[in-house]
Amino acid sequence: MGKHYYITTPIYYINDVPHIGHAYTTIAADIMARYKRLQGYEVFFLTGVDEHGQKAEKTAAERQIHPKDLADTMVQTFTDLWQMLNISNTGFVRTTEERHKRVVQYFFQKIQEKGDIYLGEYEDWYCVPCESYFTELQQQEGKCPDCGRLLERLKEETYFFRMSKYTEPLLRYLEEHKDFVLPEVRYNEVYSFVKGGLRDLSISRTSFSWGVPVPGNPRHVIYVWFDALLNYLTGIGYLENDQLMADFWPCDTHLIGKDILRFHAVYWPSFLMSLGVELPKRVFAHGWWTVDGQKMSKSLGNVVSPSEIASAYGVDQFRFFLFREVPFGLDGDFSREAIVHRINGDLANDFGNLVSRSVTMIKKFSNGMLEQPGGPGGTDEHLIGRTVGLVAEYGKEMESFGFHKALASTFDIVSLLNKYVDTEAPWKLAKDNRARLQTVLYNLWNGVRIATLLLHPFMPQKTDQIWKAIGIGTPIGTASQDRERGFYYDAQGLSSIENIPPLFPRIEK
Ligand code: ME8
C-alpha cells in the first residue's frame, strides 16, 4: 500500500466572486499537494463550492434568479480561476450534487437515531452573511462580533445537535492531540473555547428553504454549516467508494482561514464523534489578507481579483509572492508595490539571473554538455555542505506548512550559488583549467536543479520550463524520489542544455 495524503480547502460560497483570500487558501493547498506528490505520496486534493443557505437564497432573489442558476454561473467562475492558477485538485464538490445530499441526510438521520438530535426552539441574534447565531453576550451593540454587520433577532423551531455532550470528549482529544489545530495560537483559541463549555447547536432552519431538507420533516432545511462540512466526506467517496475512503480517510489536513476555525475544530469533530467516524488529523488555519492596510470589502471597492493580478504579473509570480511575502499563519497586507518588489528582487535579480547565467555559461564554455564533477576544490565544500543543510531545513518546514521559511532556505541556496559563480569565476577557468571548469559548472547546474525542484510546488510552470532547459527529459512534476531528488545527480544522459528566454522580466514601476 502506497503512501496517501488527503488535503482539503474550504468550499467557497457562491454568492460572490472569488478574491485573493480564496485564491490564497487554494494555492496553499495546491503547494502542499504538489510537494507531497514529489515526496511519492498519492494525493487527494479536494475543493468545491458551498451552494446552500440563506445568503445564497438572498443573493439569488436580488438578481431574480433561482439559487441553483446563481450557483451554476458562479461555479464556473471558480473552476476557471483554479484552472488559470494551475490548481491540481483531484476532487470538486458542489453541495447541490445528489451524492452530497445523500451523505448529509444519512449523517443527520444516523445522529438522530443515536439520540444526539432533538427538536426544540431557538431564539437568538443571527448574522446572515456569516450564517451564524450569536448570544446576547457575544453580540456587540446589535452587530456581528465576527464581521461587524447588523444582526437580526430570529426565533424558530429547530433541531438541536447535542454538542454539549462532546465538551469533555473533545477536550480530551485536544489534550492528546496538540497538533490537531495549527498554528499553536489557534489551538489555544479552540482549547479555551471548548473549555468554556459547548452549547447545543441549532442545525436546522425554517425561515428559508434553499438547503437539504431534514429527513422526515421537509419544513426544515439542514443548517448550511452541517451540510458544508460534510463535503469532506462526500468528496472522498463516503457511502460510495469504500476503497477511496479506506485509502484517504482520516483526512490529513483541512486547510482553512482563521475565520472558520470554530466550525472545523469544534463543530466538525463533534459531528464525527457522534457518528463514530475517525477525526481528521489536522486543521491548519492561516491568517487574513488585507489590501493596502484595509479589510477587503465590496463597499470599499478594494476587492482584489486574483485573475486580474495573475494576468498582470504572471500566475507563478502571483503564487510565489503570496507565500514569500507573509509567514503562512500570520496576517498579510497586499499591495501592488509589494508584488513588484518581490518579482524584481527575488525572481528577476536573484533566481532568474542565476538560472540564465548558469545556462549561458554551460552553453558557452561547455557546448551545453556537462561532465561528472572531479574532486572538490575552491569553495565547493562550503556550497555543498550548506546546500544539503538548507534542503533538509526546507523539508522540515514544508511538512508543517512553514512555506515562508522553506522559501527563505531556498533563496539562501540561490544566493550561495550566485556567490559561488562570482568566486569561482568560470570565465577564467575556461581559459586555463578545463577540469576544474567542468566541476564548477556541474555544481552550479546541480544547485540550480535543486533550487528549481524546491520551488516547483510554488511555481509549477516556470520550474517545468527550467527543468527542460537544464536538460532533464521528464516533466518536473514526475520527478522521482531516487533520481531527481537525490543530492547528486548523474549528469550522463542529459539532453543538451538550452538557453531560455528571460523567465521573470523586470517590471518597471
Ligand atoms: O466560509 N484572507 O466560505 P467563504 C485570507 N462556505 N483568506 C481568506 C480571506 C482573506 N481576506 N477571505 C476569505 C465559507 N478567505 C464557507 C466554508 S467549509 C466547509 C465552508 C478564505 O467563501 C479563507 O480560507 O466565505 C476562508 O476560510 C475562506 O476563504 C472563506 O470562504
Contact between 452 and 466 (Cβ < 8 Å): yes
Least confident segment among 128-137, 272-281, 384-393:
128-137
Mean pLDDT of 301-307: 91
Which ligand 1 atom lies nearest to the CA of residue 295? 11
pLDDT of residue 480: 64
* Matching residue, cell 452530497: 100
Contact between 470 and 448 (Cβ < 8 Å): yes
Q: Is 24 in the pocket of ligand 1 (CB under 6 A)?
A: yes
pLDDT of residue 233: 98
pLDDT digits (tens, 9 = 90+) for 400-433: 999 999 999 999 999 999 999 999 999 999 999 9
Domain boundaries, the chain: 4-287, 335-493
Which ligand 1 atom lies nearest to the CA of residue 260? 27
Q: Is 50 in the pocket of ligand 1 (CB under 6 A)?
A: yes
**What is the whole-number distance in angstroms between the Cα of residue 261 and the centre of ligand 1?**
10
| CA gap 465, 470 in Å, rounded | 9
Q: Is 208 in the pocket of ligand 1 (CB under 6 A)?
A: no
**What is the whole-number distance in angstroms between the Cα of residue 157 and the centre of ligand 1?**
29
Cell of 95: 453541495
pLDDT of residue 154: 84
Which ligand 1 atom lies nearest to the CA of residue 255? 24
Report CA-CA distances (Å) from 295 to 170, 180, 262. Answer: 33, 29, 21
Residue 481 reports pLDDT greater than 60? no
Contact between 224 and 211 (Cβ < 8 Å): yes
DSSP single-letter state for residue 212: P
Mean pLDDT of 271-292: 96
Quickly state the pLDDT bin for 132 (edges 50, 70, 90): confident
Which ligand 1 atom lies nearest to the CA of residue 13? 22
Cell of 13: 460560497
**What is the whole-number distance in angstroms between the Cα of residue 18 and the centre of ligand 1?**
10
> What strand order describes the sheet that includes 217-222?
204-205, 217-222, 213-214
- In this structure, the residue with its CA closest to atom 24 of ligand 1 is 257
* Matching residue, cell 485564491: 23
CA 399 from chain center: how many Å? Answer: 13
Mean pLDDT of 261-285: 98
Cell of 220: 426544515
- In this structure, the residue with its CA closest to atom 7 of ligand 1 is 21
Residue 482 reports pLDDT greater than 60? no
Which ligand 1 atom lies nearest to the CA of residue 50? 6
**What is the whole-number distance in angstroms between the Cα of residue 183 and the centre of ligand 1?**
17
pLDDT of residue 508: 87
- Tell me the best of 15, 16, 20, 24 to mutate to test the pocket of ligand 1, counting ligand atoms within 8 Å of each CB and taking the most: 24
Q: Among residues of the chain, what percentage have pLDDT more than 70?
A: 98
| CA gap 44, 476 in Å, rounded | 19
Hey, what amino acid is at 385? Answer: G
Fold exhibited by the domain 4-287: Rossmann fold (3.40.50)
Domain 335-493 bears CATH identifier 3.10.129.10: no
Q: Is 173 in the pocket of ligand 1 (CB under 6 A)?
A: no
Report CA-CA distances (Å) from 151 to 131, 143, 147, 321, 381. Answer: 11, 5, 10, 37, 65
330 Cβ partners below 8 Å, 6+ apart?
A: 287
| CA gap 310, 15 in Å, rounded | 22
450 Cβ partners below 8 Å, 6+ apart?
A: 387, 391, 413, 487
Quickly state the pLDDT bin for 489 (edges 50, 70, 90): confident
pLDDT digits (tens, 9 = 90+) for 334-372: 999 999 999 999 999 999 999 999 999 999 999 999 988
Mean pLDDT of 288-301: 87
pLDDT digits (tens, 9 = 90+) for 79-118: 999 999 999 999 999 999 999 999 999 999 999 999 999 9
Which ligand 1 atom lies nearest to the CA of residue 332? 2
Q: Is 78 in the pocket of ligand 1 (CB under 6 A)?
A: no
- In this structure, the residue with its CA closest to atom 19 of ligand 1 is 229
Q: Return the SS3 of 401.
A: coil
Higher pLDDT among residues 508 and 102, named by residue: 102
Contact between 246 and 3 (Cβ < 8 Å): no
Q: Cβ of 208: how many Cβ atoms within 10 Å?
A: 17
pLDDT digits (tens, 9 = 90+) for 370-395: 988 888 899 999 999 999 999 999 99
Full-model pTM: 0.94
Q: Please, which residues bridge with residue 124 across strands?
A: 154
Q: Is 329 in the pocket of ligand 1 (CB under 6 A)?
A: no
- In this structure, the residue with its CA closest to atom 22 of ligand 1 is 12
Closest to 97 measured CA to CA, from 277, 245, 238: 238
- In this structure, the residue with its CA closest to atom 3 of ligand 1 is 12
Average pLDDT, rounded, for the chain? 94
- In this structure, the residue with its CA closest to atom 18 of ligand 1 is 10
Which is it for the CA torsion 202, 208, 213, 219, positive or negative?
A: positive
Q: Among residues of the chain, what percentage have pLDDT more than 90?
A: 84
Q: Is 10 in the pocket of ligand 1 (CB under 6 A)?
A: yes
| CA gap 157, 220 in Å, rounded | 9
Closest to 24 measured CA to CA, from 284, 287, 377: 287
Report CA-CA distances (Å) from 442 to 9, 359, 500. Answer: 41, 11, 18
Q: What angle do CA 80, 52, 232 make, to 5 degrees?
A: 70
Q: Is 285 in the pocket of ligand 1 (CB under 6 A)?
A: no
